[in-house]
Amino acid sequence: MDVISVIRTKRDRGELSPQQIDWVIDAYTRGEVADEQMSALAMAILLNGMNRTEIARWTAAMIASGERMNFDALSRPTADKHSTGGVGDKITLPLAPLVAACGAAVPQLSGRGLGHTGGTLDKLESIPGWRALLSNEEMLDVLGTTGAVICAAGDGLAPADKKLYALRDVTGTVEAIPLIASSIMSKKIAEGTGSLVLDVKVGTGAFMKTIEDARELASTMVALGTDSGVKTVALLTDMSTPLGLTAGNALEVRESVEVLAGGGPADVVELTLALAREMLDAAGIKDADPAKALADGSAMDVWRRMIAAQGGDPDATLPVAREQHVVTAPASGVLTRLDAYDVGIAAWRLGAGRARKEDPVQAGAGVEIHAKPGDTVTAGQPLLTLHTDTPEKFDYALESLGAAWDIAEPGTDFTATPIVLDRIA
């Protein structure tokens, strides 16, 4: 095998053979294939696509590059969830303890934010003492004692994907559906969960901007999971408007705790319950009521045990940014649009996100939302509050919000977009 022939095959719209795929993934992981060569192949895949056979083999090759976990020793069925990323998407935080409170084990391997999309691990690291990095033994211990664990994937899990993901991020190939699908599913299949629910975001704040692209990605991932023996379901959910009333790390943890306490924004509660029901059904748990587990405090109990088991203090005061800036409504009327991407960029520029994986984040930075589409606003009332430790960032963040909302005439009829747009199984 040689990498030039592999690149040429896909450049010329050919189908990569199983042998070509196995070789190039292994050779890249070992360093025999250079970054510039793999980036050329990734761009050819972005432009020319892959068929189902190629995607399945590519995923299998990435799984084979590392270890596979096994949860057979647990007394509970396992269920996991993965979101393709959005703005204000703190759903994993209340969801994992909620599903655990209903009888499943939730091994949630999560990631960090990059660009305008927030990262679950960054959010949780705003809790004093909380640790994202656990050994496999520690992960299994937390999972066995609390029912849920949220942590970083170990270096031994699909190392080919870890290397390729970093390359895609800096070569303009993140959006390639075959590579997104294989990246997500190689980690989830190697993780060893028995069932998986995918939250595929659609809209301005998502990587998939159209329902057609989101449906293609969801269908591809469901097929990959099913072919590998993992019961897999996908929900297509709206990401044209930020989820909830916060975008930022400590801000979103605070809002998640409100949900676990039986409150919180209606859209966050709705999506959390919808995903919980899908996860429980996929795990074969038919008689649990996640709404009851939120109301009676049992989900909160699991949250507190889970945070403490990973070194965090569930009673600690969360970080607050040193500086705030209030953005007010320029006119009176009905707010008909609040763009998720623009809000996400503002939060990122304030310090809540990173441009490179090694960049630090500010725990208290982000955007607090005071009105959502459908609300009636009055000129001069607060729309958003910007939070940061570095006030020189305010002007840069405000640039991204210049066209972030629309306000229609008072009394204008407004119909909200449903949170759940489609289901693929």
Q: Name residue, tokens 């091994």.
A: 107
Check: CB of residue 365 under 8 Å from CB of residue 359: no
Q: Which of 83, 183, 186, 228 is catalytic?
A: 183
Distance CA 340, CA 318 (A): 24
Supply the pLDDT for residue 116: 84
Query: Could you please report the per-residue DSSP string of 262-307?
Result: T-S-HHHHHHHHHHHHHHHHHTT--S--HHHHHHTSHHHHHHHHHH
Check: CB of residue 69 under 8 Å from CB of residue 157: yes
Check: CB of residue 253 under 8 Å from CB of residue 306: no
**CA quadruple 341, 347, 351, 353: dihedral positive or negative?**
negative
Q: Which of 10, 116, 162, 187 is catalytic?
A: 187
Partners of 387 in the β-ladder: 324, 366
Partners of 333 in the β-ladder: 377
Distance CA 345, CA 337 (A): 16
Tokens standing for 7? 């690149």
Supply the pLDDT for residue 239: 98
Type of residue numbered 365: A
24: closest CA among 50, 58, 54, 47?
Answer: 58
Type of residue numbered 346: A
Q: Is 370 part of the annotated catalytic residue set?
A: no
Report the Cα 201 to chain-centroid distance in Å: 9
Q: Is 298 part of the annotated catalytic residue set?
A: no
Rg (CA), the chain: 21
60's CB contacts (< 8 A; 6+ apart) are: none
Supply the pLDDT for residue 296: 96
How does strand 106-110 pair with strand 148-152? parallel
Q: Which of 161, 199, 238, 339 is catalytic?
A: 161
Round to the nearest angstrom and report the end-to-end CA distance of the chain. 38
Q: How many other CB atoms sit within 10 Å of the CB of residue 56?
A: 21
Distance CA 97, CA 189 (A): 21
Q: Is 304 part of the annotated catalytic residue set?
A: no
Check: CB of residue 95 under 8 Å from CB of residue 302: no
Domains in the chain with CATH codes: 3-49 (1.20.970.10), 80-154+190-309 (3.40.1030.10), 323-408 (3.90.1170.30)
Angle of the 35-48 helix axis to the 177-191 helix axis, nearest 10: 110
Task: Report phi then psi at 383, rounded to 5.
Answer: -100, -45
Q: What is the pTM of this model?
A: 0.93
Q: Is 387 part of the annotated catalytic residue set?
A: no
Check: CB of residue 86 under 8 Å from CB of residue 239: yes
Distance CA 18, CA 53 (A): 9
Query: Could you please report the per-residue DSSP string of 205-241?
Result: TSS--SHHHHHHHHHHHHHHHHHTT-EEEEEEEE-SS
* DSSP secondary structure letter of residue 348: I
Check: CB of residue 268 under 8 Å from CB of residue 243: yes
Supply the pLDDT for residue 357: 67
* Burial 303-341, CB ≥16 within 10 A → b, else e: bbbbbbbbebeeeeeebebebebebebeeebbbbbbbbb
Q: How many other CB atoms sit within 10 Å of the CB of residue 221?
A: 27
Tokens standing for 253? 């943890």
Q: Is 182 part of the annotated catalytic residue set?
A: no
Q: Which of 10, 81, 90, 168 is catalytic?
A: 168
Q: Which of 82, 90, 112, 387 is catalytic?
A: 82
41: closest CA among 60, 23, 64, 67?
Answer: 23
Distance CA 211, CA 218 (A): 10
pLDDT along the chain (425 residues), means of 10: 96 98 97 96 97 96 94 93 95 98 96 84 97 94 96 89 86 90 94 96 95 96 94 98 98 98 97 98 96 97 98 98 98 98 97 82 97 98 98 97 97 96 97
Check: CB of residue 363 under 8 Å from CB of residue 389: no
